[in-house]
Amino acid sequence: MTELDKMIDLAREHGFTHAAALDPDTMILMPEVRDMCLANTCGQYDKNWSCPPGCGTLEECRQKVSGYHSGILVQTVGDLEDSMDFETMICLEKQHKENFAELTNVLSGLYPKLLPLGAGTCTLCKVCTYPDAPCRFPERSISSMEAYGILVTQICKDNGMKYYYGPNTLAYTSCYLLG
């Protein structure tokens, strides 16, 4: 079993429903994805150090993801009663974020240059210090894949992972660059 296979197993042991190898060469940072942040449908644009523009320019993000040779994608997939089942959606997101934080702790002990990219904005503090003061926990704050301009559907497809699991399902996807 390769080291990467072991990390994929570790991800499943930490509660993710799916995990797969991530080829860092498939990480394409797109201005179009950042433009979606600018539309501010999530309300976090210019509100949090982990989101644009606080997380850096696309070029700065590109530099941060460069030089990695391996990674893993992790996913939490769940069934919804219907498209209005917000309770399960919130539950799944919470579960995904908790598992991601726990696995981040474990992997950061194994990979000193670990770069985790999560789902959604950083919620470590009740109120983010942005933009008045520096981030309180720069070592623990995690940006989303979208904040880095990554199109989740594309990266899943290019790494053989499904993104859509059918009607009334929801999938949260995140990744780690191992280094």
Using CB under 6 A as the criterion, which residues of the chain lie in contact with ligand SF4 when the complex forms?
A: 48-50, 122, 124-125, 128-130, 135-137, 141
Residue placing its CB nearer to ligand SF4 in the complex, 80 or 124: 124
Shortest Å, Cβ 143 to ligand SF4: 9
Residue placing its CB nearer to ligand SF4 in the complex, 130 or 172: 130
Shortest Å, Cβ 44 to ligand SF4: 10
Phi, psi of 153 (to 5 degrees): -60, -40
Residue placing its CB nearer to ligand SF4 in the complex, 11 or 117: 117
Nearest to 164 by CA among 75, 33, 37: 75
Greatest CA separation for the chain: 48
Residue placing its CB nearer to ligand SF4 in the complex, 140 or 162: 140
Which SS3 state, helix, strand or coil, does residue 163 take?
A: coil
Which SS3 state, helix, strand or coil, does residue 61 take?
A: helix
Shortest Å, Cβ 60 to ligand SF4: 16
Shortest Å, Cβ 55 to ligand SF4: 9
Nearest to 149 by CA among 77, 55, 72, 73: 55
Residue in the structure block whose two tokens are 């000193």:
112
Residue placing its CB nearer to ligand SF4 in the complex, 17 or 104: 104
Side-by-side strand order, sheet with 70-79: 18-22, 70-79, 169-178, 115-117
Rg (CA), the chain: 16
Shortest Å, Cβ 38 to ligand SF4: 19
